[in-house]
Amino acid sequence: MADVDSPEVEETEGETDVGEKSGFGFQLSESIVHAIDSQIVSSGLRLIMFLPAFAALTFFISWAFAQSSPAFWKDNIEPNLGLGFSTFMVSLGFVVVLGYILAVGFHRYRVSISLATFHERVEASNDQHRSVQSLHGYDGLLYQLQTSMSHHTKSLLLAVMSALTLIVVFWYGTGSIYGNLFLLVAASFLLLSVGQHLPTRSTPFNMVEQTGLLPAYTPPVHPSTLNMVFNDLIKTHMDPLLRSQYDEYTKVLESTFKRGIDRSFAHEKFLMTLYRHATGLDRKTLESEMGEILTKKGMEHVFSHETFTLEAWLVLLGLINQRCPAFFRMVDRLKQDLEGGREPAMPDLIFEVDMENVVTDKANLFTLFHNLSNKTRTVVFRVQTPNFEPRDLALTYRLEPGEKYWWSSEALPLAAEGDEDVLGKMSGLLKDSTVSWQTLIPTSAGDATVSVRLEETNGELLLGRQINVRVRAEFRQWLRSTSTYVSYLFGGLGLVAAAIRLLMVLFSDVAV
């Protein structure tokens, strides 16, 4: 029986090796293309932005000197080259536009490789019975990636049309009326090409880095009340492909927790420790704290995992910190209270609330409740604001007593052996607390206020706070959106003006 099974095992292993080699080869080519693109084309030197700007400058100079060349050129250079200054600038612009076409084409090629790799990984995940399409946010992510690809295709086509139009300019000459008209058309196509590229800079993505899809992914929904706070927050911001791998990662992780440790507590402490490492906790203390909840096998799983490396965790936590700064400010404030041994505002209840100081498209309001008493308590959390939707929100929470008293009136160290330190207390506090995450949509720009009230069920006020924020557009996003609209506007007006002027010239020629 063993002899019969052996060939099948050898054949399967051989197929796996071939698949790994071919997959590695494709990944290597994408990594090289991505490195060139990020260092020279789309980022770094940013040729994809510099080249059209320089080409537009040559077009304007050519228009300015269409009738006569400057004296220094006419006296010294034109007799030797046999080219007018205007024709030379158009020729230079033509070369620059060709370079721009190569840059856009190379960037589009890189995006197409990343999109193909995305589909391959989705199929591979489905083959492993981890359906990515069923996860929330997949359709929105796929639409975003396909829209980005469509923008790059249109940008490339418009750049090619600009170059072809410049050939017509050479045919008629820059001094002729037709040459000037087609030069305007070429500049308009170039503006429209840039306008197609600009929106994609807000949502870049790649498949070389494990976290390469995160900038292009926007969570469509999120839980209103977080169960396992850090875990729910992280899973909400993970793209579907990464989240499907995270589910497998946590299954192995939870199987390596030490006996006698509550799994929810261990999971929250694991993520809390990673967050503290991202904010400055040294590697030795990180390993010491991980060793309190993980076996040796678990330590190897965490520090040698191919996908969820420490670098990937730092990128993920940094992104969440950027999108939800209010949550981490709230956590840091609780940490400082524990480190200083300060008493909570109410002896039997911890209540913390925070929100962004500057709101762009939406506001994230985080609230933490923790019952320090040994009796069940019911409270009403009310939000009232004239500047956001919903304007009046009331939520009733039933707060069960904590399994353990997760507070201390004495100053605690950040990390020490056991759970009598800030990391241990904070992990237990987040595990037993009720954390609310509400999204408020601004209705107007400028200064705004949000009133937060904590009440008894009979309406008696326990604690109230007023948060002052400023609603404004995010500068980079505003600049890209404005530049996109300006490019479309002037590019479209240029084409319309050139078409009208061309018809007028044609009709006047026919009349003559």
Query: Among 323, 353, 384, which residue terminates a domain?
Result: 323
Please give the mean pLDDT across all residues of the chain.
Answer: 87
Two tokens, residue 70: 């400057």
- Verify that 313 and 349 share a domain, yes or no: no
- Verify that 29 and 171 share a domain, yes or no: yes
Instruction: Identify the CATH number of the domain in which residue 405 sits.
Output: 2.60.40.10
Residue 10 falls within a domain, yes or no?
no
Query: Among 266, 291, 323, which residue terminates a domain?
Result: 323
> Is the model's pLDDT at 477 over the cut of 80?
yes
Q: How confident is the model at residue 27 (pLDDT cuts 50, 70, 90)?
A: very low
Q: Supply the pTM of this predicted model.
A: 0.85
Q: How many CA atoms lie within 13 A of 76 on its CB side?
A: 4
> Is the model's pLDDT at 26 over the cut of 60?
no
- Verify that 136 and 24 share a domain, yes or no: yes
- Cis previous bond, 204, omega within 30: no
pLDDT tens per residue, range 43-96: 988 999 999 999 999 999 999 888 888 888 888 888 888 888 999 999 999 999
> Is the model's pLDDT at 327 over the cut of 90?
yes
Percent of the chain at pLDDT exceeding 70: 92
Strand order of the β-sheet with 377-384 is: 358-359, 461-471, 446-456, 377-384, 392-399
How distant is the alpha carbon of residue 230 from its chain centre?
19
Position 1 scores a pLDDT of 37
Whether 484 contacts 154, CB under 8 Å = no
Residue 81 falls within a domain, yes or no?
yes
Query: Among 256, 291, 323, which residue terminates a domain?
Result: 323
Burial of 47 from C-beta contacts in 10 A (0-12 / 13-18 / 19+): buried
> Is the model's pLDDT at 408 over the cut of 80?
no
Q: How confident is the model at residue 413 (pLDDT cuts 50, 70, 90)?
A: confident
Alpha carbon distance 434, 432 (integer Å) = 7
Element (H, E) at 196: helix 177-197
> Is the model's pLDDT at 17 over the cut of 50?
no
Residue 332 falls within a domain, yes or no?
no
Position 158 scores a pLDDT of 97
Q: How confident is the model at residue 339 (pLDDT cuts 50, 70, 90)?
A: confident
Total structural domains within the chain: 3
Q: How confident is the model at residue 337 (pLDDT cuts 50, 70, 90)?
A: confident
- Verify that 175 and 231 share a domain, yes or no: no
Least reliable range by pLDDT among 191-195, 249-253, 506-510: 506-510
**Owning domain of residue 317:** 217-323
Q: Which of 175, 188, 160 is nearest to 89 (CA)?
A: 175
Two tokens, residue 511: 């009349």
- Verify that 55 and 99 share a domain, yes or no: yes
Residue 4 falls within a domain, yes or no?
no
- Verify that 26 and 142 share a domain, yes or no: yes
- Verify that 443 and 463 share a domain, yes or no: yes
> Is the model's pLDDT at 383 over the cut of 50?
yes
Residue 415 falls within a domain, yes or no?
yes
- Verify that 434 and 354 share a domain, yes or no: yes
Position 24 scores a pLDDT of 39
Position 14 scores a pLDDT of 37
Cross-strand pairs, 367: 353, 436
Residue 333 falls within a domain, yes or no?
no
Relative orientation angle of helices 177-197 and 138-172, to the nearest 10 degrees? 160
What separation in angstroms does the CA of 241 have from each of 228, 320, 404?
A: 21, 17, 37
Q: What residues have CB less than 8 Å from 461, skipping those under 6 apart?
A: 453, 454, 455
Position 512 scores a pLDDT of 54
- Verify that 286 and 412 share a domain, yes or no: no
> Is the model's pLDDT at 16 over the cut of 60?
no
Q: How confident is the model at residue 511 (pLDDT cuts 50, 70, 90)?
A: low
Position 257 scores a pLDDT of 94
pLDDT tens per residue, range 357-380: 999 889 999 999 988 888 899 999
- Verify that 275 and 422 share a domain, yes or no: no
Q: Specify the residue for token string 């001094």.
A: 175
pLDDT tens per residue, range 115-173: 999 999 999 988 888 889 988 899 999 999 999 999 999 999 999 999 999 999 999 98
Least reliable range by pLDDT among 125-129, 298-302, 410-414: 410-414
Position 510 scores a pLDDT of 66
Helix, strand, or coil (residue 439): strand
Burial of 111 from C-beta contacts in 10 A (0-12 / 13-18 / 19+): buried
Cα angle 385, 387, 393; round to 5? 35
pLDDT tens per residue, range 229-248: 999 999 999 999 999 999 89
Helix, strand, or coil (residue 396): strand
> Assign residue 226 a region: left if phi > 0, alpha if psi is -120 to 50, beta otherwise?
beta
Alpha carbon distance 90, 469 (integer Å) = 51
Helix, strand, or coil (residue 55): helix
- Verify that 66 and 152 share a domain, yes or no: yes
Position 22 scores a pLDDT of 39
- Verify that 57 and 190 share a domain, yes or no: yes
Residue 451 falls within a domain, yes or no?
yes
Whether 172 contacts 244, CB under 8 Å = no
Residue 287 falls within a domain, yes or no?
yes
